[in-house]
C-alpha cells in the first residue's frame, strides 16, 4: 500500500539557506541522534554556469528520519529545525497552505512523512 | 514515572563553549541540575530564537568525557603527558608561589598573560595581569591581526569604531521607525553565516536581503553572498586596499560624495605644508598659536584662519574654509611655505589609482569596480561590513583607512542603515578593546612602560593595551631588553590555532620557567603547561557582556564538576597576588563595571538585557552633530582635530603615511616573483566553518561530522593539472614548511588560489609530545611566518602566502 502523508510539510526557501547546519543539529539535539544521523541533511551544491560562472546553493533536505516533529507540532510548537533556522527560511504547515506560498524561484516543498 | 521538573534559564552565549563573539540570547533547559537542551530565546531582540550549530551542540560539549574537571599538575617532563589531579586550593597556592618567585627575581613584566580571541576573558586576564603588576597582556596572533587592528585604525581617523547598522540598537529592530534599511551592503571579505560574528549576527544580513537590500560581495572565494550579490568582486587576496582606492577614485571623479559632510565634518580644508607633507599648525604661524591647532585658508578674508581644537571651532567668526587650492603661508620663522588642502592631497593620492591600474592589481575588471562603486555611493543609505581578511595583511591600517573614508565621504557615518558608531552599551566597559578605559586598569602609567612593543608601535602606545606578540616571542629567546620567564595562557591554543610558525611557539613555551593554562579540554598547548586549570563554559558562569549592544548578563544555568569561570579563577589569584586588590566579591567587580549604566549586576540580570536610551552617547544616530561623542560635549569627533581625518594626525605623529593608500603584501606573485616561480599558487587560509570556532570543537562528534577533515580547496582545472582527485591527501608546501590536507576539488576557489582550513588538531589522537594530537601535521600556520607585520606593528600575511600543492605518495599516507 502506498504511504499516505499526513498533510503537513516543510516549505523551504533555499535561496536564503546559508548552509549553517543549525537545523541539522537542532534535530540531532531534539531526538539525540548520533553524529551523522538525523532528520535533516544540508547539502552543498555548486552549479557550474556558462562563462566560467558558478552558483553556490545549500539545500536542507528532510531525510527518512524526519518525523516532522509530530510531538512538538501537536503542542503548537514549531519543529525544532524551523524554530532554529538562522535564516528563517523554513516553514512548517499544511501542504495545501504552503503550496500557495510558493511565489518565487528557489523554493521547495517537502512532505517527508 | 513522574515527569521531571524542567527549569529554563535565559542567558547570553558568550564563550567558552560556542566560541564566537555573538552574544545570542539562549534558553538553557535544565532537568535535575543537568543541561538537556539549548534553544534560541525567541524574545531576545538579537537573534529572535535562532541559534547556530555550535550553541546547539552545548549539551555534548559541557558533559564531554574529555573535559578537564579538576586542576592538573604536571608530574613528568613538560609535554610528557603525566598529570596529577590536585585541589583548587593546591592549584592556587602553586600558581601563586611560581608567579611570586618570578616577580621577585625578574619583575612582574617577565610574565606574559596571553589569550586567544578574547570574548569573556579579555577583561579578567587584564585584571589578573594588572593585579600581579604585569602590563604584558597579549593577544597571541602575529601582528594582533584580528579585529583590534581594524578598531584601532578606525579609531585613529574617526575617534570611535563603527559597524553595520542592522537595527541592533532598538528592541523592536527592523520595525523601529528610527531605523532605515540599507539599500546596499558591501560584504567585504566575510563569509559571515559560517563564522564568528564580531558583534553582528550574520543572518541579520539575510533578514535585510529578504527586505530588499542589495549585496556587493568582495571575496576571492565563491560564498553564499558571492552567489547572491548584485556585484561580486573576486579580488586577489591582500589587494583590498587597492580596491578601496579604486572605489574612492570613482566616487571622487563622478562627484558621488557628500559634499556637506566632507566640508563640515572632515579635515578636508586643513592645510598641508608641501615642503614637509605635514599638517600646518597654528604654532607654525606668526603670533602665539597653539601647536595643537590646525590651519585653513579663509576664502573670505583671503588669509589663514585657525581651527581651534580645544573649542572645536574657528578662532575667528565667519570663516569660509577653502576646500581646494594652493596657498602661500608666511611662517613665524619668516619663511614662506606653499600649502595645499587635505582634500587636494587626498584627491591626488586617490588619483594614483585609476581603474585600469586597480584592475591590474586586484584582478577585478575595471567595469565591475566602477559599477560596484556607483551602486555603493548612490544607495542611500549604504553600509560596509568587513571581516578578518582586512586585518590579516600587513598594510591593514591604510586599507582600513581607505574603507572608512568611503563611508565617511558618502555620508554613511552614524546614520540609520549606514556604518554606525558602536560603543560599549551604557559606556560600561568590561572587555578592554582598543581605546577603552574602564574599571580594570593598571595602577600607574609607570607600570605600562615595560609593555613589549608599546614604545615601538604607535597604535600600541595609544589605543591597544596589548604586548606585541611577535616581539614577545622573540624576547623569550633573546632575553632583551628583559627576560621573559612565564606565560599564563587562558583559553587559547596557539600551537593549533592562532600561533603562526607553531614550531617556534612550541620552542618558546618549552624555554619558559613556568607555563599555566586555563582551558576546558587538553589541547596541544595545554600539554606543554606546568599546571592546567579547568574553566567553565558560558552555561556554568555569571558574567557581563557589554560590547556593544545590548548590555547583557551571562547567567549560570548548571555546574560541571569543579570547573570554575574565568573571572572566578582570575579573581582569586588577583586577590592573592595584590594586597591592594579592591574588590571583595566578583559581584562587586561587576557592579563597578556596570556603574555607568545605573544598574547593579543583580538588576541587569533581572532584566536580561538593556538598551541605552536615545540621546545616550552609546545610542545612535548622528552623534557627531549632537555633541554626544566628545567628552567636552561639543559637536565633532574624538580625534586630535575633532574632525573625521582624511589626513590622519596620529599617523603623521607616528611617522607613517597619513593618507589612505595601497601597499603590496610581502609574499605575493607581484612582490616576490622569485618565490612564485617555485610556489605558484596563492595560499589563502582561515576559511570559516559553520561547525568550528577557530581551533575548537574538533572533539564534538555532531560538529565534527559536519566538517570532518582539514581541507584545502582547489579549483577543478588546477586539480586536474596537478593530478589531484577530490578527497585525496595532498601536501601544501612553501619555503617555511609543509602540511598535509585533504583536497576538496571545488569551484569555490579561483584557479590561481587555494584555500586552506586552519585550526586543526586531532583530539582523538595521542596527546603527549611529540604527537600533540597531530597538531603539526595539518597545521597551515606552519607555512606562515611571524614578524611580517605592518609598519605600525599590526597585521600579518595570513590570507596571501604562496605555496605549491602535490599529492601525498602512497608510502607517506
Ligand atoms: S521537522 Fe523535526 S524531525 Fe524533521 S528534520 Fe526538522 S527537527 Fe528533525
Ligand atoms: S538552519 Fe536554515 S539557513 Fe541554516 S542550514 Fe538549515 S535551513 Fe539553511
Ligand atoms: S552565533 Fe552561534 S555560537 Fe555565536 S552566540 Fe550566536 S548561536 Fe552562539
pLDDT for B314-360, tens place per residue? 999 999 999 999 999 999 999 999 999 999 999 999 999 999 999 99
Number of H helices, E strands in chain B: 25, 31
User: Within the 720-759 window of chain B, which residues sit less than 8 Å (CB to CB) from chain A?
Assistant: 746-748
Q: Which positions in chain A touch B226 (Cβ < 8 Å)?
A: 56
State the average pLDDT for chain B: 96
Q: Is the pTM of this model over 0.95?
A: yes
Closest by Cβ to A18, choosing from B206, B222, B226: B206
Q: How far is CA B372 from CA B183, B250, B408, in A?
A: 13, 10, 17
Interchain CB contact of A54 with B (< 8 Å): yes
Residue A42 is inside which H or E element, if any? strand A40-49
So what's the pLDDT on residue A3? 66
Q: Which ligand is nearest to the CA of B49?
A: 3
So what's the pLDDT on residue B1? 54
CA B154 to chain centre: 12
Contact B193 A87 (CB under 8 A): yes
Question: Atom 1 of ligand 1 has which residue's CA nearest to it?
Answer: A68
Question: Atom 7 of ligand 3 has which residue's CA nearest to it?
Answer: B51
Q: How many residues does chain A have?
A: 113
Q: Decide: B195 and B686 in contact? Cβ < 8 Å.
A: no
Q: Which atom of ligand 1 is least distant from the CA of A92? A: 1
**Is the pLDDT confidence value at B689 over 60?**
yes
The rounded distance, in Å, linking the Cα atoms of B379 and B119 is: 34
Residue A70 lies in a domain: yes
B419-421 and B162-164 strand pairing: antiparallel
The rounded distance, in Å, linking the Cα atoms of B679 and B97 is: 50
Residue A3 lies in a domain: no
Number of structural domains chain A divides into? 1
Q: Which positions in chain B touch A25 (Cβ < 8 Å)?
A: 53, 56-57, 702-703
Phi, psi of B619 (to 5 degrees): -120, 135
Interchain CB contact of A35 with B (< 8 Å): yes
Per-residue pLDDT of B756-790, as tens digits, reads 999 999 999 999 999 999 999 999 999 999 999 99
Q: Which domains are present in chain B?
A: 72-146+430-541+563-605 (3.40.50.740), 149-258+348-425 (3.40.228.10), 270-344 (no CATH), 673-812 (2.40.40.20)
Residue B305 is inside which H or E element, if any? strand B303-308
DSSP state of B26: E
**Is the pLDDT confidence value at B6 over 80?**
yes
So what's the pLDDT on residue B117? 83
Range of the domain at A27: 8-110
Q: How far is CA B505 from CA B357, B472, B498, B785, in A?
A: 40, 11, 10, 11
Residue A1 lies in a domain: no
Q: What is the ipTM of this complex?
A: 0.97
DSSP string, B164-215: E-SSTTSTTGGG-TT----SEEEEES--GGGS--SSS-TTHHHHHHHTT-EE
| Position B193 confidence tier, pLDDT thresholds 50, 70, 90 | confident
| Position B547 confidence tier, pLDDT thresholds 50, 70, 90 | confident
Q: Which atom of ligand 3 is least distant from the CA of B197? A: 1
CA B517 to chain centre: 23
Per-residue pLDDT of B223-271, as tens digits, reads 999 999 999 999 999 999 999 999 999 999 999 999 999 999 999 999 9
Phi, psi of B211 (to 5 degrees): -90, 0
- Indicate the angle between helix axes B502-511 and B469-478, nearest 10 degrees: 50
The CATH number of residue A69's host domain is 3.30.70.20
**Of B18-27, B42-51, B381-390, B744-753, which range is least confident?**
B18-27
Per-residue pLDDT of B421-461, as tens digits, reads 999 999 998 877 767 788 999 999 999 999 999 999 999 99
B202: nearest CA partner in chain A: A86
**What is the mean predicted confidence (pLDDT) over B542-563?**
95
CA B611 to chain centre: 24
Amino acid at each position: 500500500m502506498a504511504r499516505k502523508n499526513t498533510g503537513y510539510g516543510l516549505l523551504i526557501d533555499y535561496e536564503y539557506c546559508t548552509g549553517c547546519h543549525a537545523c541539522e543539529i537542532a534535530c540531532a539535539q531534539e531526538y539525540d541522534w548520533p553524529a551523522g544521523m538525523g532528520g535533516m541533511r544540508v547539502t552543498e551544491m555548486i552549479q557550474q554556469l556558462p562563462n566560467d560562472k558558478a552558483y553556490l546553493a545549500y539545500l536542507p533536505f528532510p531525510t527518512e528520519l524526519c518525523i516532522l516533529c509530530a510531538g512538538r507540532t501537536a503542542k503548537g510548537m514549531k519543529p525544532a529545525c524551523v524554530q532554529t533556522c538562522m535564516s528563517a527560511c523554513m516553514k512548517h504547515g499544511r501542504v495545501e497552505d504552503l503550496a500557495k506560498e510558493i511565489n518565487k524561484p528557489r523554493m521547495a516543498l517537502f512532505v517527508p512523512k | 514515572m513522574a515527569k521531571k521538573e524542567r527549569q529554563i534559564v535565559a542567558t547570553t552565549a558568550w564563550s567558552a563553549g560556542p566560541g564566537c563573539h555573538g552574544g545570542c540570547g539562549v534558553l538553557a533547559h535544565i532537568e535535575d541540575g543537568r543541561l538537556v537542551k539549548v534553544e534560541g530565546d525567541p524574545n531576545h531582540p538579537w537573534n529572535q530564537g535562532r541559534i547556530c550549530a555550535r550553541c546547539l551542540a552545548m549539551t555534548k560539549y559541557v558533559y564531554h568525557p574529555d573535559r578537564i574537571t579538576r586542576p592538573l599538575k604536571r608530574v613528568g617532563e613538560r609535554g610528557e603527558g603525566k598529570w596529577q589531579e590536585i585541589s583548587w586550593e593546591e592549584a592556587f597556592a602553586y600558581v601563586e608561589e611560581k608567579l611570586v618567585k618570578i616577580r621577585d627575581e625578574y619583575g612582574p613584566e617577565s610574565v606574559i598573560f596571553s589569550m586567544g580571541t578574547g570574548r569573556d576573558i579579555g577583561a579578567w586576564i587584564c585584571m589578573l595581569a594588572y593585579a600581579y603588576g604585569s602590563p604584558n597582556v597579549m593577544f597571541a596572533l602575529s601582528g594582533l591581526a584580528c579585529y583590534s587592528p581594524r578598531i584601532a585604525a578606525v579609531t585613529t581617523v574617526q575617534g570611535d569604531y563603527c559597524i553595520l547598522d542592522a537595527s541592533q540598537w532598538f528592541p523592536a529592530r527592523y520595525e523601529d521607525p528610527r531605523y532605515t534599511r540599507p539599500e546596499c551592503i558591501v560584504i567585504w571579505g566575510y563569509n559571515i553565516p559560517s563564522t564568528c560574528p564580531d558583534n553582528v549576527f550574520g543572518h541579520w544580513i539575510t533578514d535585510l536581503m529578504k527586505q530588499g537590500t542589495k549585496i556587493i560581495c568582495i571575496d576571492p572565494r565563491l560564498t553564499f553572498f558571492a552567489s547572491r550579490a548584485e556585484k561580486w568582486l573576486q579580488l586577489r587576496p591582500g589587494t583590498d586596499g587597492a580596491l578601496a582606492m579604486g572605489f574612492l577614485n570613482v566616487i571622487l571623479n563622478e562627484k558621488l560624495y557628500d559634499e556637506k559632510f566632507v566640508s563640515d565634518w572632515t579635515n578636508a580644508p586643513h592645510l598641508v605644508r608641501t615642503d614637509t607633507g605635514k599638517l600646518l599648525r597654528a604654532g607654525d604661524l606668526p603670533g602665539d598659536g597653539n601647536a595643537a591647532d590646525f590651519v585653513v585658508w579663509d576664502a573670505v578674508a583671503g588669509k589663514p584662519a585657525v581651527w581651534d581644537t580645544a573649542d572645536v571651532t574657528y578662532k575667528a567668526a565667519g570663516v569660509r574654509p577653502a576646500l581646494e587650492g594652493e596657498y602661500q603661508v608666511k611662517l613665524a620663522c619668516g619663511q614662506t611655505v606653499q600649502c595645499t588642502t587635505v582634500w587636494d592631497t587626498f584627491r591626488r593620492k586617490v588619483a594614483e589609482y585609476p581603474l585600469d591600474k586597480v584592475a591590474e592589481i586586484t584582478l577585478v575588471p575595471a567595469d565591475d569596480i566602477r559599477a560596484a562603486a556607483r551602486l555603493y555611493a548612490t544607495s542611500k543609505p549604504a553600509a560596509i561590513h568587513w571581516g578578518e581578511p582586512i586585518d590579516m595583511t600587513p598594510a591593514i591600517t591604510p586599507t582600513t583607512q581607505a574603507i572608512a573614508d568611503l563611508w565617511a565621504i558618502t555620508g554613511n557615518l552614524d546614520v540609520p542603515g549606514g556604518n554606525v558608531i558602536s560603543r560599549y552599551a551604557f559606556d560600561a566597559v568590561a572587555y578592554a578593546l582598543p581605546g577603552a578605559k574602564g574599571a580594570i586598569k593598571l595602577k600607574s602609567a609607570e607600570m605600562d612602560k615595560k609593555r613589549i612593543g608599546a614604545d615601538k608601535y604607535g597604535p600600541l602606545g595609544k589605543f591597544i593595551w596589548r604586548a606585541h606578540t611577535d616581539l614577545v616571542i622573540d624576547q623569550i629567546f633573546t632575553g632583551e631588553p628583559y627576560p621573559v620567564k612565564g606565560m599564563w595562557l587562558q583559553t587559547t591554543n596557539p600551537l593549533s590555532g592562532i600561533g603562526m610558525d607553531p614550531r617556534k611557539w612550541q620552542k618558546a613555551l618549552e624555554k619558559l620557567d613556568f607555563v599555566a593554562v586555563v582551558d576546558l579540554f587538553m589541547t596541544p598547548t595545554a600539554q606543554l603547561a606546568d599546571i592546567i586549570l579547568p574553566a567553565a563554559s558560558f552555561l556554568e558562569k555569571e558574567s557581563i557582556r557589554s560590547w556593544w549592544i545590548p548590555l547583557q548578563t551571562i547567567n549560570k544555568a548548571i555546574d560541571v564538576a569543579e570547573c570554575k569561570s574565568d573571572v572566578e579563577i582570575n579573581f582569586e589569584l588577583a586577590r592573592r597576588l595584590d594586597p591592594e586588590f579592591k574588590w571583595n566579591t566578583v559581584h562587586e567587580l561587576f557592579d563597578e563595571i556596570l556603574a555607568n549604566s545605573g544598574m547593579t549586576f543583580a538588576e541587569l540580570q533581572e532584566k536580561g538585557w538593556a538598551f541605552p536610551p536615545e540621546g545616550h552617547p552609546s545610542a545612535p544616530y548622528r552623534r557627531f552633530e549632537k555633541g554626544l561623542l566628545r567628552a567636552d560635549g561639543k559637536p565633532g569627533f574624538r580625534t586630535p582635530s575633532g574632525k573625521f581625518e582624511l589626513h590622519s594626525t596620529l599617523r603623521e605623529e607616528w611617522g607613517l603615511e597619513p593618507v589612505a593608500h595601497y601597499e603590496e603584501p610581502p609574499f605575493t606573485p607581484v612582490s616576490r616573483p622569485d618565490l612564485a616561480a617555485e610556489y605558484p599558487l596563492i595560499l589563502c587560509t582561515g576559511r570559516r566553518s559553520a561547525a568550528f570556532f577557530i581551533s575548537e570543537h574538533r572533539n564534538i562528534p555532531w560538529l565534527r561530522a559536519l566538517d570532518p577533515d582539514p581541507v584545502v580547496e582547489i579549483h577543478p582545472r588546477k586539480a586536474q593539472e596537478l593530478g589531484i582527485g577530490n578527497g585525496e591527501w595532498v601536501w601544501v608546501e612553501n619555503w617555511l614548511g609543509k602540511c598535509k590536507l585533504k583536497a576538496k576539488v571545488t569551484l569555490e576557489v579561483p584557479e590561481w588560489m587555494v584555500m586552506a582550513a586552519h585550526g586543526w588538531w586531532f583530539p582523538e589522537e595521542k596527546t603527549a609530545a611529540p604527537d600533540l594530537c597531530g597538531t603539526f601535521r595539518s597545521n597551515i600556520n606552519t607555512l606562515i611566518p611571524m614578524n611580517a607585520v605592518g609598519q605600525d606593528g599590526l597585521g600579518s600575511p595570513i590570507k596571501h602566502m604562496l605555496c605549491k600543492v602535490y599529492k601525498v605518495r602512497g608510502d607517506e599516507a
